[in-house]
A and B are shown apart, each in its own frame.
Chain A
């Protein structure tokens, strides 16, 4: 069964450093998303991406964040200068977005720890 994959599973970084989180969406999906979940809290939408551009982004997704689909299979989230409050679980998701709705399939997540 096709699935979304993410690497790394855990990333530890120093405050101020840049990190890149990687995702491989399900191959026939065209819509891609990043979410984050601070430990024990709700899931928060960051950004959606379609046709090589951002469709929507939340207030959380400020200038420190960027997304890219560099090679037709990977989908990356870059945080330019990490802050302590960026520590969270980051989930990538993908979907087909049909008339039957937008069931999003999630990857296993990357736990980002900023020290």
Chain B
């Protein structure tokens, strides 16, 4: 059974700081997705990571994938308040494209 674990589950940080969210998964997969969810809102696709060593950046967010370590990271650089949200990673079951989701990391960035 594929399990996806995120940590931390909750993160409160100051604007301007850097931090990393980790996403570990339990079986082989080379497709991983990061989504953002604002309170009471839907899920917004941030990054699609498709191979070992993939790195993608958008603004202050950078995501990477290490399929050998079964680990993805979402790095936040010089955080700003607008990045406050819950971030989910989701891993693609190779055989059937079923997304298995992490529990989410609730990120609060204080001015």
Which residues of A come within 8 Å of B, CB atoms?
A: 31, 33, 41-45, 48, 55-56, 58, 91, 93, 97, 100-109
Contact = CB atoms under 8 A, between A and B. Distances in A.
B43 interface: yes
B5 to A, nearest CB: 11
Given A42-B102, A100-B50, A101-B92, A107 B42 contact: yes
A45 B43 CA distance: 13
A104 B99 contact: yes
Which size bracket describes the interface of B in this complex?
Answer: 20 to 34
A89 to B, nearest CB: 9
A106 B42 contact: yes
Contacts of A55: 96-97
Nearest to B49: A101
Contacts, number: 59
Interface of chain A, main secondary structure: strand
A99 B52 CA distance: 15
A103 B43 contact: no
Contact of B48 (A31, A33, A44, A103): A103
B42 A108 contact: yes
Nearest to B6: A42
A100 B101 contact: no
